[in-house]
Structure 1
Amino acid sequence: MRTSCRWSVLNTLSSILSCYTIFILFSALQACFARDNITIESGLADGQTLVSAGNRFQLGFFGPSRGSNVKRYVGIWYASNSQIVVWVANRDNPILDRTGVLSIANDQLKLSDEKRKIYWSTQRGAKRSKLVAKLNDTGNFILLDERLRVNLWESFTEPTDTFLFGMKMDAKFLLTSWSSEEDPSSGNFIFKQDQGVEQLVVMEKSTVHWKSSRPDAGKIIKSDELPPTIVNFLNFSQSNNPRVYQDKRMVMTFTGKLQYWDFDADMNSWSSIWSEPNNNCSVFNFCGNFGTCNTNSGLPCKCLPGFQPKFMDKWKAGEFSDGCSRNHTSSCGNYFLSLKRMKVENSDSSYEAKDETDCRGECLKNCQCQAYSFVGQRDYTTSCLIWSEDLKDLQEDEDDGYDLNIRVALSDIEASTRNCETCGTNSVPYPLSTGPKCGDPMYFSFHCNNDTGKLSFMAPNGRYSVVAVNPDARTFVIQMKAEEANNCAALHASASRILQFNQSSPFNVTSSCSGELGNLTSDSTLEGTVEVEISWKPPLEPMCSSSADCKDWPHSTCNENKNGQRRCLCNSTYHWDGSVLNCTREAGQLGESSDKSKPLALILGISLPIGTAFLCAAVSIYVWREKVVKRREKQRQAVLHMYDTEKGVKELIDLTPFEEKDHGTGIDVPFFDFESILAATNNFSEENKLGKGGFGPVYMGKFPGGEEVAVKRLSSVSGQGLEEFKNEVVLIAKLQHRNLVRLLGYCIRGEEKILLYEYMPNKSLDSLLFGESSSQQLDWATRFNIILGIARGLLYLHQDSRLRIIHRDLKTSNILLDAEMNPKISDFGLARMIQGKQTEANTLRVIGTYGYMAPEYALDGLFSVKSDVFSFGIVVLEIISGKRNMRFYQVKDDAPSLVGYVSRDDFKIGFLLHMALPSIALLNIWLQGWRLWQEGKALDLMDERAGSNCNESEFMRCVHVGLLCIQEDPSERPTMGDIVLMLSGTQSSKLPIPKQPAYVIRRPLSATASSYSNAETNTEITSSIEEGR
């Protein structure tokens, strides 16, 4: 029996050993037949695979596992897990059957079907004799010339959604997400390196979705910082041990997350060890401009004190991306909201500052300064950071965040009898109180730590951090330690007991661990901290000691109530409403009600209807007679009155349809009747006349209430017709920027076309720049601020506005200056909108002002954003020199002159004068500027009236930028984005060397100048300039 058992065991072991031997032999056989390359003779058909030499990766055909449609793709995946696809060839062009073949033909790698339709291919190169496509153990698929050992193409240079070790993260590198888990086509999210800065970004279409942090003045925000291992992984040249990263990958997922994965050999599985964005506050600018995000709060976004949601309905619905806007339009005050430990988008500029006062002064110099932060001493330098644009990506409680000072109106942050002073990012609304001099004493349960900007709620048993206050709902949210209750249900039941609220307390627990606050159920186990929502009861009348204390409470007087307390008691016929915090009128308070009033009521009830009937009859007769008298006059004026209605104006403008289909959406600015404009301008009197431009005179108007406006009355003989007027009304209404003039309204009456702008007390730039006395106001700091403001306005037009605009008529007379000398670009009658990514267009109708028009536009009708750049360069040279670019003058020895080019008539006259009298020359900004630049004497171009405080570095930067802008080749001119960086001094690389400007006059297409309207002649004049040395 025992022998039989042994024999059975031996047979079993023998069978197992035989099976294992067969498996090993089969695997070895399979390995022998597996291949890792494609040659000219052997392609790869659907159903076949390539296997890398170390059996790490496979290449073949795959398709989605769900759905009835056949879609076949060629991809690369891990040999150990075919579900992890790291590269797809034809991601946006699937084969719709299983006849696909990947082959080498005609010196290229291509994917085709049985009908020889090509779905994907590499670029065709030179004639090669020995081409091989090989799959490496790194996951890289390479097409190479085996005879010359030269790589002709590789998949690592055309990645899809996955970064593998060995790829190169440079400016051209992109990872594009899949559209969904089953669809490898190009999705909405792109991972790339941000141009010009040390940051990596994830874009959702054209919007930034996430940004890595980067150093800024020695300070690093750490919440989004890439771990060193990932930095080394993305830049393999810095890695000392490449093998460490072979089992790692980075993926741009279709959900918008950038994930870093690591393979655990012991567990034989992949795990995500880093992911961004990992919460709402990690999403770039999640709360919009001037909105701050808090990861510790279940309500993530709130507006800063002094700001309110732009769109309240969307904000309440949880859509925060539109951000917040100021309660007061002006941001040029001397008061700042101080916030601690704030994350914020990188500053626009930085300066060396001695201390905080010096830094604050730098901000106060410029009305465009929105905020500043004094970083303090780091690496033996001190830095003052300035933000001139809207604040983005704000987040609270960052360990290495900035101490940020935001410019606000005093009324937004100061304490009053109604509200306490703001505490950090929290407003403290009435009746809540942080001290004896504000709020209601009954609600004095809050404390503000001015050092940290943190607001706390002081309960009898302890102090709790306040993370949100909602005055509309009369609630605030505090954080409690989870150990104070086992779960949400227990916490809600015992929160009042824990906080020791009694019947007399004005506070009451309304919610805890709710879905609104923490997304927890009633039986959820609590860990860390939880949020508890507390409401407050409407307060009684405000307490007072004198009548002065009641000035903020209308219809009330300081008196004693029945309890002997002095309060702001409501006047008769009013009662206190604690829900709206005001005295409201009582309903039905029309006098005493008694039996004596009944006869009076009866008399009134009879007489009033009779009197009303007689009155109506008299009015009807009067109206009828007036209609008969005026009927003929109205008939004569019918045509003119058609234009006095907004409907008529819309119909008129719709005769020339707007490219963006805006003619169907109406006009976004008010319509003014002609009579009100006549009254405001005193019948267009000479005393109200501000000046006269190419399109007609401009008057100052003053409406009832004191509002001052500038009224442009377009002349019937001017060059501005219906299309240009339509541009002004429809186009500028959609543009909003601090450096663009604001259109307030319009009017049409018969031949009259009128535009109303915000009034600019300092008039136009040319009136100050070229006037002998007025230019004294233009010191260097003011001139530089004007140049920078114009640049930012053009950048908005070219790039940042929802409509991409080319101005086409930029000149000093079209730059207006407000009371604080801030520049405003005006006159959009000649502006043109361009579509999408388009940057240029052409026209047969050349319009603009000679002397400011770019050569390619004046001569060939080709205009682009670079045409505006040319005009900007001319304006810069005019501002720094104080000279017009179109003028004749008596030549003096070494007298600095300016540039330009001029109207054809002026040029011909000047050319003949110069030939006859060499002492008469054309004032030529760029010629003299170029020669002085070449000779190293560019400072001689400076206007003496700019003052002795001129910043030499800024001046030389302006000369350099001006010459770059007026280069003849448009492609060599910088963009406005580059120009803003150059002028602000934030461009780290050396500025390019400008090439000599040149201009050749020949007959253009068809020219109409905004300042000249004479017909062109056939004369051709060629102007050449000697090469500068």
Structure 2
Amino acid sequence: MNLLVLVIPIWVFSSSNWVSTYASRPDSPLPSVSEPLLPTEKQPPPRIPSEMAANSPGVAEVKIVHHQDLNKRILIALIVASSLLGGILLSLFCFCIYRKKNLKKSNAKSQNRNDAAKGLPLGPLLGRFNSFRMAGKKGSVAFIEYELLVAATNNFQENNVLGEGGFGRVYKARFSDNVLAAVKRLHGGNQDAGREFENEVDWLSKIHHQNVVSLLGYCVHGDTRFLVYEMMHNGSLESQLHGTSHGSALTWHLRMKIALDVARGLEFLHERCNPPVIHRDLKSSNILLDSNFNAKLSDFGLAVTGGNQSKDNIKLSGTLGYVAPEYLLDGKLTDKSDVYAFGVILLELLMGRKPVEKTASSHCYSLVTWAMPQLTDRSKLPTIVDPVIRNSMDLKHLFQVAAVAVLCVQQEPSYRPLITDVLHSLIPLVPIDLGGSLRG
């Protein structure tokens, strides 16, 4: 429209100049005032010779009238043409705007499809993680659409598998170039699996601590459930100790740091939460390690509130080798049950052995049963320590850790220490730069 407003004045201005220029040409003289064109009444009209007719004023006047009519027609034609041109330009302008809007919409749809195929920008997703608040007992944990998980895991490809267990698989999920997450895919729609899933989301939406893994979100798709955790780059303690590396990355000081981190996490559950929380499934596979080997507790599907539990109000659950005797035999569950499991993990860190192993004759033996007679013998203890740390540890510290482990795995719960006492006994064994301080 602005273009039309500019075009019309230009045409009109140029046309008026053309007319004025043409009218001022010398070969079109105007009749002189001193020479009247009409004769007097008394005198008969003179005859004009034919050779002068072409140059007479009367003939010139006829020519001027003719040119003025022509100029008017040309001006009208120019105005009409300008109007048509302006209308065409305006139509083109409107068409371009319409085309541009449609192109933007098309590009946006195409970009969304590309994002779904390549991965997801984490900025908006993290914003949902940080600001999304759900009603009910899910607390601050975000519900994540299944399509987002498919895109982030590249349709759950095999090369994105981080680990596998009886519950299902854990996949690496890339939501952007800089941020990764771990997606646990839980199969099965039975009642127990559904209850544990709900329990995990419930607890981790309320428990926030530096030594408890962060749950970023969850998803339910048909009978399959998903839990999205922060990425723990060094996997589980079980994979580090009993995997292909056989604990080679875990120095003595790192092992003590991991033990201290686990004790801090348990102390938070037992002493800081109200009501207290019993993890009930503490084991090396549920202790996750980040890129700096900071340990965090995970898998709260079996966690319950503290207090004396019995067979009548709780189902027997746990993992063989970590389950406390009183819970296994009588169904009695207290915070001391978690302390027993912690003692088993201490033995794993010291010996580099699994809590239950098969012998050559296909018989199973318990790490606690095998180690107990040797833990109190100072001459034998250094010989049963993991060879990876055997030559780098302080013997004095070894004896202290062994003494703590012996107390934690006592058959009688009342003989076991509180986790707070365990925590304070481990702090002096860890260098300050690795967390050996009284921080919470």
Task: Say yes or no: TM over 0.5.
Answer: yes
Pair 664,689 (structure 1): closer, same or farther in 2 beyond 3 Å: closer
Q: Alignment partner of 1:847: what SS?
A: coil
Pair 719,771 (structure 1): closer, same or farther in 2 beyond 3 Å: farther
Counterpart of 1:170 in structure 2 is none
1:933 Cα deviation from its structure 2 partner: 3.1
Pair 757,868 (structure 1): closer, same or farther in 2 beyond 3 Å: same
Counterpart of 2:325 (choices 825, 846, 855) is 855
1:701 Cα deviation from its structure 2 partner: 0.8
* Whole-angstrom distance in 1 between the partners of 2:308 and 2:329: 19
Trace 1:685-700 onto structure 2 (pairs within 5 A): 685-700=157-172
Pair 717,726 (structure 1): closer, same or farther in 2 beyond 3 Å: closer
Q: Alignment partner of 2:259: what SS?
A: helix
Counterpart of 1:354 in structure 2 is none
Pair 777,862 (structure 1): closer, same or farther in 2 beyond 3 Å: same
Q: Which of the two has higher C-alpha Rg?
A: 2
Q: Is 2:247 the counterpart of 1:797?
A: no
* Whole-angstrom distance in 2 between the partners of 1:718 and 1:877: 35
Letter of the aligned partner of 2:373 in structure 1? R
Q: Is 2:433 the counterpart of 1:977?
A: no
Q: Alignment partner of 2:322: what SS?
A: coil
* Whole-angstrom distance in 1 between the partners of 2:184 and 2:153: 11
Pair 723,663 (structure 1): closer, same or farther in 2 beyond 3 Å: farther
* Whole-angstrom distance in 2 between the partners of 1:968 and 1:805: 22
1:683 Cα deviation from its structure 2 partner: 1.1
Q: Is 2:379 the counterpart of 1:884?
A: no
Counterpart of 1:757 in structure 2 is 229
1:839 Cα deviation from its structure 2 partner: 5.8
Higher relative contact order (CA 8 A, sep 6+): 2
Counterpart of 1:819 in structure 2 is 291
1:841 Cα deviation from its structure 2 partner: 5.6
Pair 774,922 (structure 1): closer, same or farther in 2 beyond 3 Å: closer
Pair 767,720 (structure 1): closer, same or farther in 2 beyond 3 Å: farther
Q: Alignment partner of 1:777: what SS?
A: coil
Instruction: Answer yes or no: is the 8 Å Cα contact 1:954–1:983 preserved in 2.
Output: no
Letter of the aligned partner of 2:289 in structure 1? L
CA offsets 1:146-183 (integer angstroms, 9 cap, x no match): xxxxxxxxxxxxxxxxxxxxxxxxxxxxxxxxxxxxxx
Letter of the aligned partner of 1:861 in structure 2? G
Counterpart of 1:961 in structure 2 is 404
Trace 1:563-602 onto structure 2 (pairs within 5 A): none
Letter of the aligned partner of 1:959 in structure 2? A
CA offsets 1:43-95 (integer angstroms, 9 cap, x no match): xxxxxxxxxxxxxxxxxxxxxxxxxxxxxxxxxxxxxxxxxxxxxxxxxxxxx
* Whole-angstrom distance in 2 between the partners of 1:708 and 1:663: 27
Pair 720,767 (structure 1): closer, same or farther in 2 beyond 3 Å: farther
Trace 1:377-392 onto structure 2 (pairs within 5 A): none
Counterpart of 1:927 (choices 353, 361, 369) is 369
Q: Alignment partner of 1:692: what SS?
A: strand
1:772 Cα deviation from its structure 2 partner: 4.9
1:847 Cα deviation from its structure 2 partner: 1.2
Q: Which has the higher helix share?
A: 2
Pair 939,823 (structure 1): closer, same or farther in 2 beyond 3 Å: same
Q: Alignment partner of 1:691: what SS?
A: strand
> What is the TM-score when the length of structure 2 is the normalising length?
0.64
> What is the TM-score when the length of structure 1 is the normalising length?
0.29
1:828 Cα deviation from its structure 2 partner: 0.8
* Whole-angstrom distance in 2 between the partners of 1:765 and 1:973: 24
Letter of the aligned partner of 1:939 in structure 2? P
Counterpart of 1:868 in structure 2 is 338
* Whole-angstrom distance in 1 between the partners of 2:246 and 2:235: 11
* Whole-angstrom distance in 2 between the partners of 1:706 and 1:984: 34
1:690 Cα deviation from its structure 2 partner: 1.1
Letter of the aligned partner of 1:869 in structure 2? V
Q: Alignment partner of 2:359: what SS?
A: strand
Pair 810,665 (structure 1): closer, same or farther in 2 beyond 3 Å: closer
* Whole-angstrom distance in 2 between the partners of 1:974 and 1:742: 28
* Whole-angstrom distance in 2 between the partners of 1:940 and 1:774: 18
Counterpart of 1:676 in structure 2 is 148
* Whole-angstrom distance in 2 between the partners of 1:971 and 1:745: 39
Counterpart of 1:734 (choices 203, 206, 218) is 206
Q: Alignment partner of 2:247: what SS?
A: helix
1:844 Cα deviation from its structure 2 partner: 4.2
CA offsets 1:120-168 (integer angstroms, 9 cap, x no match): xxxxxxxxxxxxxxxxxxxxxxxxxxxxxxxxxxxxxxxxxxxxxxxxx
* Whole-angstrom distance in 2 between the partners of 1:690 and 1:665: 29
* Whole-angstrom distance in 2 between the partners of 1:923 and 1:687: 35
Counterpart of 2:193 in structure 1 is 721
1:714 Cα deviation from its structure 2 partner: 0.2
Instruction: Answer yes or no: is the 8 Å Cα contact 1:674–1:749 preserved in 2.
Output: yes
Letter of the aligned partner of 1:944 in structure 2? P
* Whole-angstrom distance in 1 between the partners of 2:345 and 2:228: 25
* Whole-angstrom distance in 2 between the partners of 1:801 and 1:692: 31
Q: Which has the higher strand share?
A: 1
Instruction: Answer yes or no: is the 8 Å Cα contact 2:138–2:205 preserved in 1.
Output: no
Instruction: Answer yes or no: is the 8 Å Cα contact 1:739–1:825 preserved in 2.
Output: yes
Pair 727,923 (structure 1): closer, same or farther in 2 beyond 3 Å: same
1:924 Cα deviation from its structure 2 partner: 2.9
Q: Alignment partner of 1:939: what SS?
A: helix
* Whole-angstrom distance in 2 between the partners of 1:673 and 1:789: 33
CA offsets 1:246-303 (integer angstroms, 9 cap, x no match): xxxxxxxxxxxxxxxxxxxxxxxxxxxxxxxxxxxxxxxxxxxxxxxxxxxxxxxxxx
Q: Is 2:145 the counterpart of 1:702?
A: no
Pair 718,810 (structure 1): closer, same or farther in 2 beyond 3 Å: farther
* Whole-angstrom distance in 2 between the partners of 1:856 and 1:847: 13
* Whole-angstrom distance in 1 between the partners of 2:418 and 2:191: 30
Letter of the aligned partner of 1:883 in structure 2? R
Counterpart of 1:832 in structure 2 is 304
Instruction: Answer yes or no: is the 8 Å Cα contact 1:886–1:923 preserved in 2.
Output: yes
Pair 743,961 (structure 1): closer, same or farther in 2 beyond 3 Å: same
* Whole-angstrom distance in 2 between the partners of 1:805 and 1:941: 34
CA offsets 1:564-597 (integer angstroms, 9 cap, x no match): xxxxxxxxxxxxxxxxxxxxxxxxxxxxxxx98x
Instruction: Answer yes or no: is the 8 Å Cα contact 1:694–1:718 preserved in 2.
Output: no
Trace 1:122-271 onto structure 2 (pairs within 5 A): none
Counterpart of 2:391 (choices 948, 951, 956) is 948
* Whole-angstrom distance in 1 between the partners of 2:329 and 2:401: 27
Pair 933,804 (structure 1): closer, same or farther in 2 beyond 3 Å: same
1:664 Cα deviation from its structure 2 partner: 3.4
Letter of the aligned partner of 2:201 in structure 1? V
Trace 1:81-100 onto structure 2 (pairs within 5 A): none
1:665 Cα deviation from its structure 2 partner: 5.6
Pair 856,878 (structure 1): closer, same or farther in 2 beyond 3 Å: same
1:823 Cα deviation from its structure 2 partner: 0.9
Pair 721,663 (structure 1): closer, same or farther in 2 beyond 3 Å: farther
* Whole-angstrom distance in 1 between the partners of 2:263 and 2:292: 18
1:981 Cα deviation from its structure 2 partner: 1.3
Q: Alignment partner of 1:731: what SS?
A: helix
Instruction: Answer yes or no: is the 8 Å Cα contact 2:376–2:403 preserved in 1.
Output: no
* Whole-angstrom distance in 1 between the partners of 2:381 and 2:191: 38
* Whole-angstrom distance in 2 between the partners of 1:839 and 1:955: 34
* Whole-angstrom distance in 2 between the partners of 1:717 and 1:846: 20
* Whole-angstrom distance in 2 between the partners of 1:718 and 1:712: 17
Pair 953,839 (structure 1): closer, same or farther in 2 beyond 3 Å: farther
Letter of the aligned partner of 1:779 in structure 2? T
Instruction: Answer yes or no: is the 8 Å Cα contact 1:841–1:864 preserved in 2.
Output: no
CA offsets 1:576-620 (integer angstroms, 9 cap, x no match): xxxxxxxxxxxxxxxxxxx98xx9xxx9xxx89x969x97xx99x
Pair 690,733 (structure 1): closer, same or farther in 2 beyond 3 Å: same
Percentage identity across aligned positions? 38
1:947 Cα deviation from its structure 2 partner: 4.7
Letter of the aligned partner of 1:739 in structure 2? N
Pair 665,702 (structure 1): closer, same or farther in 2 beyond 3 Å: same
1:875 Cα deviation from its structure 2 partner: 0.9
